[in-house]
Amino acid sequence: MAEVMVHGEKLAEETLLPSVLEDDDAGTQSEKLQLWEQRASRTEVGVRGLKDRRSSPDGDELVGGERECEEEEEEDEEEEQVISDEDYDTDIELEDKEGGYDPTGQTRYMEVCGKLQVVPSSYFMRHLQDSELNMMHRGLGPKGTKALAVPLVTNTSILRLNLRDNWMEGMGGAAVAEMLKENCYITEVDLSNNRLGDYGARAIAAMLKENSSLLRLNLSGNHLTDRCAEHLGPALISNTKLQHLDLSYNALGERAGQFLGDSLSENTGLKSLNLAWNSIRGRGAVLLANGLEGNFSLRAVDLSFNGFGKEGANALGQALKENTILEELNVSENRIPPEGAICLAVGLKANRTIKSLNMGRNPIQNAGSYAILKAIQENPDSAMETLDFSDMTVNQDFVDLYAAVKETFPSLTVIHGGKFGTFRKAKA
């Protein structure tokens, strides 16, 4: 009869490697091989550690082939209840037992693809050792993304990962997030246009609280709502390593301004933030601007295509009075009226760091443009280099003022939609 199985580790080894089982009892060995065939037919993603059973419920030591088989049958029932195809576990052990450690991750990737029943990507396997992996528009889907994430857990070569437009959805996004909790080499990740939704965003937010290597993250176009901002806000407070975050083309909405505004006032790592096309307006715009007032790390902020209006522009003007770090601000297409531009100009009179301001396609008219340019003239410490008033026509007074300002700030460039009367048809 076989030696008594009293250690969980030895039992796990026999379970995974039937070829090394040695048992003088032919009947017992046949039963073990049948159990192995049943396990091999499953499609679990992970292999859970087997429970260490040293004795039976009545305290007796488990001896003999009969009790050993009963123990293995109980483990079968346990695994069937716990493991499913949809489970994702970063503690997957799929190394080649005969070949030893697999440094490239190809063997592990092939095994996971087989278990998930997805077609392996030959491109992925060829570029596993590159510093940049570009997998845009590959149609990976949730399962394909899970399979790809497994070998990346221990990959030390890839530094930049581009998974743009792969329809990975929330489950695929969660798999990537779990991978990034373990991988400390990847510094740039592009997950844009993947329909992550709030489920995927929550997983990303949880990852940001633990990851200390990621510097750039793109979550643009992922159907994120204000519920996502509720989770991302606290993550941005605890994470001090992330420097560039793109949340554009989502649906964060008005409530997101509160969560993100609170986090921006405490964040010390971000250098650029893109919130374009998120329907941030009303009170949300004001709270977001208040957060920028207390931020001392952001250098570039894109707020274009939202709805800041007069109230939001007024809050931005107050923020520019106190902020001494911000260099680039884009508030184009924000329905800012002339009164809002005048309020913003008040902040520019005191600001010493803004180098680029984009006010294009706002109904600020000539009066708003003139007020902003006049504020630059009255601020001898202004660092302004570019003023963008795209698609806005100006009058002769503005042109004359611009000529005067150029004498003080020769490097200043002003973009506008032309002067009144320029486009009139010439008389016959």
Is the pLDDT confidence value at 188 over 60?
yes
Residue-range definition of the domain harbouring residue 42: 8-82
Number of residues that make up the chain: 428
Residue 331 lies in a domain: yes
Residue 105 lies in a domain: no
The two tokens of residue 81 are 């209840």
Asked if residues 389 and 415 have their Cβ atoms less than 8 Å apart, the reply is yes
Render pLDDT for 38-88 as a digit per residue (tens, 0 to 9).
444 443 434 333 334 444 444 444 444 444 444 454 544 444 443 344 444
Residue 94 lies in a domain: no
Asked if residues 179 and 166 have their Cβ atoms less than 8 Å apart, the reply is no
* Whether residues 176 and 62 fall in one domain: no
Q: In which residue are the tokens 């106190």 written? A: 322
Separation between Cα atoms, residue 141 and residue 118, nearest integer Å: 10
Total tally of structural domains belonging to the chain: 2
Bigger pLDDT: 374 or 22? 374
Q: Is 428 exposed, middle or buried (0-12, 13-18, 19+ CB in 10 A)?
A: exposed
Confidence of residue 418 (pLDDT cuts 50, 70, 90): confident
Average pLDDT over residues 331-342: 97
Q: Phi first, then psi: what are they for 116, rounded to 5°? A: -90, -5
Render pLDDT for 2-51 as a digit per residue (tens, 0 to 9).
343 334 433 333 333 333 333 444 444 444 444 444 444 443 434 333 33
Average pLDDT over residues 321-349: 96
Render pLDDT for 165-184 as a digit per residue (tens, 0 to 9).
999 999 999 999 999 999 99
Q: How many CB atoms lie within 10 A of CB 64?
A: 14
Query: How confident is the prediction for the chain on average, in pLDDT?
Result: 82
* Whether residues 293 and 409 fall in one domain: yes
* Whether residues 147 and 50 fall in one domain: no
* Whether residues 53 and 121 fall in one domain: no
The reported pTM is 0.76
* Whether residues 187 and 328 fall in one domain: yes
Separation between Cα atoms, residue 225 and residue 289, nearest integer Å: 19
109-148 burial by CB neighbour count: b if 16+ within 10 A, else e?
Answer: bbbbbebbebebbeebeebbeeeebebeebebbbbbbbbb
Residue 422 lies in a domain: no
Is the pLDDT confidence value at 374 over 60?
yes
Residue 99 lies in a domain: no
Helix (H, G, I), strand (E, B), or coil: what is residue 396?
Answer: helix
Confidence of residue 104 (pLDDT cuts 50, 70, 90): confident
Q: Enumerate residues 6+ apart whose C-beta is below 8 A from 240.
A: 267, 268, 269
Residue 383 lies in a domain: yes
Asked if residues 152 and 180 have their Cβ atoms less than 8 Å apart, the reply is no
* Whether residues 209 and 153 fall in one domain: yes
Residue 308 lies in a domain: yes
Separation between Cα atoms, residue 173 and residue 232, nearest integer Å: 15
Residue 427 lies in a domain: no
Q: Where are the alpha helices (DSSP H) in 129-225?
A: 141-152, 169-182, 197-208
Residue 27: the pLDDT is: 43
Render pLDDT for 122-162 as a digit per residue (tens, 0 to 9).
999 999 999 999 999 999 999 999 999 999 999 999 999 99
Q: Which CATH number covers residue 131? A: 3.80.10.10
